[in-house]
Amino acid sequence: MQKFTSVQDVANIDELVNEALHLKQNPYKYKQLGENKTLGLIFLNPSLRTRLSTQKAALNLGMNVMVMNLDKEGWALETQEGAIMNGTTVEHIKEAAAVMGEYCDILGIRSFPKLQNRDEDYNEELLQQFIDYAGIPIVSLESATRHPLQSLADLVTITEKKPAGKKPKVVLTWAPHVKPIPQCVANSFAEWMGQANVELVITHPKGYDLAEEFTQNATVTTNQDEALKDADFVYVKNWSSYIDYGKVLTEGEGWMMNNEKLALTNNAKVMHCLPVRRNVELSDEILDGSNSLVLQQANNRTYAAQAVLKRILETL
């Protein structure tokens, strides 16, 4: 594995999931693999689970880890080719990424979309520039369009918890939120589930269709109750409009998951990537109840990241 930015970078997702589960049982088995290797974690946006789980994953493999909150601690980056840098930007990404590549063996990057220009966000310009200029393997810690480490951990969790002897029905349901949220997690989840052995249904209010490239293997409906019927897993996530880009089109009354909606399912396990707005996206009764998998998902973030880092280390 030369980079990890989407499911397209994975030759066999079942093998990668099984490797993560193996590492969960044997977290220090490959501690010599990362000896004298350095992982750089570069954040342009906040993080809790991604930062801590990826750092722990690297330490489990014996790596050194350096973390930088580039938005707060670094120079203002210029990303435009041929820019005359006589304004507020101080360092061009060509030098910044290349220097990071000199210090590190693998580089993780987190950069959220601005939700202002869809083409700019979906071209993944910043992530691609790190890939082009760093000269070392790049791991996406969440980009403008995807969150692959989260999606891998989600698939690991579903694999652990799925009912025996059947193809699970997995429902991705839109949920209300107090502000516009990127489509990254929803895109990525749909993309990974579309490659997995599950029945995927996506439900959302009108106007919240995701980009078709992510939903080709899913059934899509605006009828949440119908979507939830007989579901084995319900993944709850808000996202802003892709069509009317970055906009909130509805307050989402009646879309929050609660026990009444859970009763429509096959006693489904409920998932969320966290952080979650309690009693906006998900009710207390679900989050504090026995159907919630949010902590198991968070725990599996470590072993998902560890499987990815192991694969990359094996190529260095």
75 is in an annotated binding site: yes
DSSP secondary structure string for all residues of 120-187: HHHTTHHHHHHHHHH-S-EEESS-SS--HHHHHHHHHHHHHHSPTTS--EEEEEE---SS---SHHHH
149 is in an annotated binding site: yes
81 is in an annotated binding site: no
Contact 4, 308 (CB under 8 A): yes
Contacts of 54 (CB under 8 A, 6+ apart): 39, 41, 108, 139, 141, 149, 301, 305, 309
Contact 201, 227 (CB under 8 A): yes
216 is in an annotated binding site: no
47 is in an annotated binding site: yes
Length of the chain, in residues: 316
301 is in an annotated binding site: yes
- DSSP symbol at 76: P
Q: What single letter denotes the amino acid at residue 251?
A: E
147 is in an annotated binding site: yes
273 is in an annotated binding site: yes
228 is in an annotated binding site: no
111 is in an annotated binding site: no
95 is in an annotated binding site: no
274 is in an annotated binding site: yes
33 is in an annotated binding site: no
150 is in an annotated binding site: yes
Residues flagged as binding site for carbamoyl phosphate: 47-50, 75, 110, 147-150, 273-274, 301
Residues flagged as binding site: 47-50, 75, 110, 142, 147-150, 177, 237, 273-274, 277, 301
Residues flagged as binding site for N(2)-succinyl-L-ornithine: 142, 177, 237, 277
